[in-house]
């Protein structure tokens, strides 16, 4: 079956080229994957971070401490600095979200337990899911390459090994939703590298003691009330 053999060789070629840039991310109970996108810089999902610290497992199996350069919780993205060795960063495709039917290869290294590589196809576009704090993340694409739990943060690449997206949300059927690796994602990664975290407006209610409330009312010209 020459077609199947050709597919197998394509997957092996992608795994050889991209696999060394796929790392494990986690600390204690938080387990995920990440991808090297620059010298000493690892892109992953924000939900893979832990309050007690985060570590990166290199492709060679070494656990190293990582510094969080920036984390955008509402976009579920985080950029880490870690000594992952001299691994070639994954090149960006620059094509935005791949279209329906596009063959893709998904890679993960769940918590550093070893590289996983699977083949699939883009099965949905412009999908929406909720991030760690409940905010809606729009514009993701769905693909059929099955991966184990803990593969979030790993890359989705095209058959040339170029970054097409970041696996972020695992569906119950085994499919994954991925954030496309277009200009919007590159801009966010560049901002995180500079330590810039977006500050979004939030609506809430503040409670204050009565004497503080009276001063606040007086400050804006309102009548005093108990």
Q: Which residue in the list 76, 97, 140, 158 is annotated as catalytic?
A: 76
DSSP-assigned states of every residue in the chain: -HHHHHHHHHHHHHHHHHGGGEEEEEETTEEEEEEEEETTEEEE-GGG--TT--EEE-TTS-EEE-EEEEEEGGGTEEEEE----S-PPPPB--S-SPPTT-EEEEEE-GGGS--EEEEEEEEEEEEEEE-TTS-EEEEEEEE-----TT-TT-EEE-TTS-EEEEEEEE-TTS-EEEEE-SHHHHHHHHHHHTT--------------HHHHHHHHHHTTPPP--
* Residue 206, pLDDT score: 74
CA angle 14/15/21 to nearest 5° reads 105
Q: Which residue in the list 27, 33, 47, 140 is annotated as catalytic?
A: 47
* Residue 173, pLDDT score: 72
Cβ contacts of residue 76 below 8 Å, gap of 6+?
Answer: 45, 46, 47, 131, 132, 137, 168, 179
Give 226 or 80, the one with higher predicted confidence: 80
Average pLDDT over residues 182-200: 87
* Residue 1, pLDDT score: 63
* Residue 201, pLDDT score: 65
Cross-strand bridge partners of residue 107 = 117
* Residue 44, pLDDT score: 96
Distance (Å, rounded) from C-alpha 217 to C-alpha 198?
31
pLDDT at 39 over 70: yes
For residue 33, indicate whether it is catalytic: no
The total number of residues written for the chain in this structure: 226
Q: 89-144, pLDDT tens digit by residue?
A: 999 987 778 999 999 999 999 988 899 999 999 999 999 998 888 889 999 999 99
Q: Which residue in the list 75, 97, 140, 152 is annotated as catalytic?
A: 152
Give 49 or 209, the one with higher predicted confidence: 49
In this structure, are strands 22-27 and 30-38 parallel, antiparallel, or unpaired? antiparallel
Q: 157-173, pLDDT tens digit by residue?
A: 999 999 999 999 988 77
Average pLDDT across the chain, whole number: 88
pLDDT at 202 over 90: no
* Residue 87, pLDDT score: 77
Which of 167, 134, 129 has the alpha carbon at shortest distance from 148? Answer: 167
Average pLDDT over residues 191-217: 79
Map tokens 């949300």 to a residue.
Answer: 169
């Amino acid at each position: 079956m020459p077609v199947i053999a050709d597919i197998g060789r394509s997957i092996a070629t992608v795994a050889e080229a991209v696999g060394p840039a796929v790392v494990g991310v986690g600390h204690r109970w938080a387990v995920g994957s990440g991808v090297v996108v620059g010298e000493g810089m690892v892109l992953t999902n924000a939900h893979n971070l832990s309050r007690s610290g985060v570590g990166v497992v290199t492709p060679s199996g070494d656990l190293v401490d990582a510094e969080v350069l920036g984390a955008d919780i509402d976009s579920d993205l985080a950029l880490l600095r870690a000594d992952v060795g001299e691994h070639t960063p994954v090149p960006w495709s620059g094509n935005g979200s791949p279209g329906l039917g596009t063959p893709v290869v998904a890679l993960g290294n769940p918590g550093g337990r070893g590289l996983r590589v699977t083949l699939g196809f883009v099965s949905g576009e412009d999908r929406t899911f909720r991030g760690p704090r409940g905010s809606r993340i729009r514009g993701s694409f769905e693909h059929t390459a099955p991966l184990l739990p803990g593969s979030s943060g790993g890359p989705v690449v095209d058959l040339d090994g170029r970054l097409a997206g970041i696996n972020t949300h695992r569906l119950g059927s085994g499919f994954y939703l991925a954030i496309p690796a277009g200009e919007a994602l590159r801009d966010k990664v560049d901002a995180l590298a500079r330590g810039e975290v977006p500050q979004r407006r939030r609506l809430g209610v503040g409670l204050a003691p009565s004497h503080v409330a009276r001063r606040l009312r007086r400050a804006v010209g309102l009548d005093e009330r108990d």
